[in-house]
Amino acid sequence: MLLEFKVSRAIDLKIALEPLTNLARTATIINSSNEVTLLGTILDCHAIAILQISSTEVDHFLFHEGDVAGFDLVMLNRYLHFFSNGNLPVTLSVVEDDGGKLTAMMPNIGFTPYTSLSMGLIQPNPQHVNFLNRERIYDVTVRIRTAKFRAIIMDMARTRRSVDSTIVVTVQKTHVTFRITGVIRILRHCHECVIEGDTGDNPISLEFHVDHLVSIGKAISLSEMVWIYGSYSLLPMLRCRVPPSEISYYFV
């Protein structure tokens, strides 16, 4: 047994996975003693998403430290969406049997006691393992309500010029500016956002492709807040929480 965990309601697992399943087709799962970690390459390889579910958020948790496996995320999502009663518990396990497989099992209210999905594992992405272990230190963090973040991005996507594809987010001590040609939105610290960290006299400018932010905005619609992490030397990262999971989008 490489990994096994149980969630009390299948619908909670489906919702928790949506920020990743909306963007990635396959995922790498990496075991540790305190959480389940899924990684997926997204946005045409411009970002890597890391979704983590703490062991304290599930009813049952067994693991084999450090084991890595790849699987079809789309197939798992279809099972949770179409073939399950969302209010029943679901158990996911990754085993080495028959060359390795992932199994999702739920109680069944029909003739058979259980309904299950079993699929073969795929080769994990070696880039994911190295990426997870990399240390990153950011200079500032901006916290914004997801609804406001989505509204700004969607508005800029609608009004942009056809040749304009970049949103520049500039973080200063007192405010954050979202800018695309012809459109500027300013969020004031403590009124429309919360800025943590100190930019000093040198604002931090972060560049995003507008279509990438639109895709992420749609994927995180069930979250309440989004955090933007910025640095003078690192590419930006976005983070949000959809209980029981937390997901981070690292641009690469």
In a domain, 82, yes or no: yes
Statement to judge: residues 144 and 201 lie in one domain: yes
Statement to judge: residues 16 and 119 lie in one domain: yes
Q: What is the CATH number of the domain that holds 159?
A: 3.70.10.10
Q: What is the CATH number of the domain that holds 81?
A: 3.10.150.10
In a domain, 59, yes or no: yes
Entry field: residues in the chain: 252
CA distances to 22, 25, 66, 180 from 71, rounded to whole Å, are 15, 9, 16, 38
Statement to judge: residues 44 and 128 lie in one domain: yes
Question: Would you give per-residue pLDDT tens digits along the chain (252 residues)?
Answer: 689 999 999 999 999 999 999 999 999 999 888 899 999 999 999 999 999 999 999 988 998 888 899 999 999 998 988 766 788 899 999 998 888 999 999 988 777 788 899 999 999 998 998 899 899 999 999 999 999 999 999 999 988 766 678 999 999 999 999 999 888 999 999 999 999 998 888 999 999 999 999 999 999 999 999 999 999 999 999 999 999 999 999 999
pLDDT computed for residue 162 by the predictor: 66
Per-residue model confidence as pLDDT tens digits over 132-190? 989 999 999 999 999 999 999 999 998 876 667 899 999 999 999 999 988 899 999 99
- Look up the domain containing 190 and give its range: 140-233
Domain count, the chain: 2
pLDDT over 90 percentage in the chain: 75
pTM of the model: 0.94
Q: Using CA atoms in the order 49, 184, 202, 174, what is the torsion angle rounded to 10 degrees?
A: -90
Q: What gap in Å lies between CA 239 and CA 195, rounded to an integer?
A: 14
Of 91, 116, 132, which closes a domain?
Answer: 132
Residue of 6, 101, 21, 14 whose CA lies nearest to 62? 6
pLDDT computed for residue 37 by the predictor: 95
Half-sphere exposure (Cβ direction) of 150: Cα atoms closer than 13 Å: 15
Statement to judge: residues 158 and 65 lie in one domain: no
In a domain, 70, yes or no: yes
Q: What gap in Å lies between CA 103 and CA 120, rounded to an integer?
A: 9
In a domain, 164, yes or no: yes
Query: What are 194's two structure tokens?
Result: 């919360």
Residue of 172, 229, 179 whose CA lies nearest to 203? 172
pLDDT computed for residue 1 by the predictor: 61
By three-state DSSP, how is residue 247 classified? strand
206 burial type by CB count under 10 A (0-12 exposed, 13-18 middle, 19+ buried): buried
Statement to judge: residues 8 and 107 lie in one domain: yes
In a domain, 243, yes or no: no
Torsion over CA: 225, 44, 16, 246 (sign): negative
Q: What gap in Å lies between CA 161 and CA 163, rounded to an integer?
A: 6
Statement to judge: residues 118 and 211 lie in one domain: no
Statement to judge: residues 72 and 20 lie in one domain: yes
Statement to judge: residues 125 and 223 lie in one domain: no
Query: What are 54's two structure tokens?
Result: 């703490």
